[in-house]
Amino acid sequence: MSSTAQMTAVVKTGPGQDGVRLGSVSIPKPGEAMARVRVAATGICGTDLHIARDEYACEPPVVMGHEVSGVVDAVGRGGDAALVGARVVLETYYSTCGRCDWCRTGRINLCPRRRSIGSFENGGFAPFLVVPQLNLHVLPGAVGSVEGALAEPLACVTQCLMDPSVVDAGDRVLVTGPGAMGQLAAQVAVACGGSVTVAGLAQDRERLDVAAGLGMNTTAAPAEENSFDVVIECSGSGAAAGAAMHAARRGARYVQVGIFGREVALPFDLVLYKELVVSSGFASTPASWRRAMTLITDGAVRLEPLVTRRVPLNDWAVAFEAARSGEGIKTVVIP
Binding site for Zn ion (CB under 5 A): 45, 47, 67, 96-97, 100, 103, 111
Inter-residue contact 29 to 130 (CB < 8 Å): yes
Residue placing its CB nearer to Zn ion in the complex, 150 or 196: 150
Give least dist CB 226 to Zn ion, A.
32
CB of 289 to Zn ion, least distance (A): 14
Nearer of residues 85 and 112 to Zn ion, judged by Cβ: 112
Least Å distance, CB 45 to Zn ion, is 3
Q: For 29, left (φ over 0), alpha (ψ -120 to 50), or beta?
A: beta
Q: Which of 309, 196, 277, 181 is nearest to 236 (CA)?
A: 181
Cis ω before 164 (30° cut-off from 0): yes
Residue number with CB closer to Zn ion (219 or 308): 308
**Closest separation between CB of residue 80 and Zn ion, Å?**
25
Which residue's CB is nearer to Zn ion, number 71 or number 100?
100
Check: CB of residue 6 under 8 Å from CB of residue 329. Answer: no
Residue nearest to Zn ion (CB): 111
CB-nearer residue toward Zn ion: 247 or 319: 319
Q: Which is nearer to Zn ion, 30 or 46 (CB)?
A: 46
Residues 6 or more apart whose CB falls under 8 angstroms from that of 174 comprise 196, 197, 199, 223, 227, 228, 230, 231, 232, 244, 247, 248
Beta-carbon count within 10 A of 159 CB: 22
Q: Give the Cα separation of 118 and 57 in Å (integer).
A: 11
Q: Decide whether 69 or 96 has the Cβ nearer to Zn ion.
A: 96
Strands, E assignment, the chain:
6-12, 20-26, 34-43, 62-63, 67-75, 87-90, 93-95, 115-116, 128-132, 136-138, 172-176, 195-199, 217-219, 228-233, 248-256, 277-280, 307-312, 330-334
Minimum separation from the CB atom of position 124 to Zn ion (A): 11
Q: How far is the CB of 269 from Zn ion (least distance, A)?
A: 32
Distance CA 233, CA 138 (A): 30
Smallest gap from residue 5 Cβ to Zn ion (A)? 28
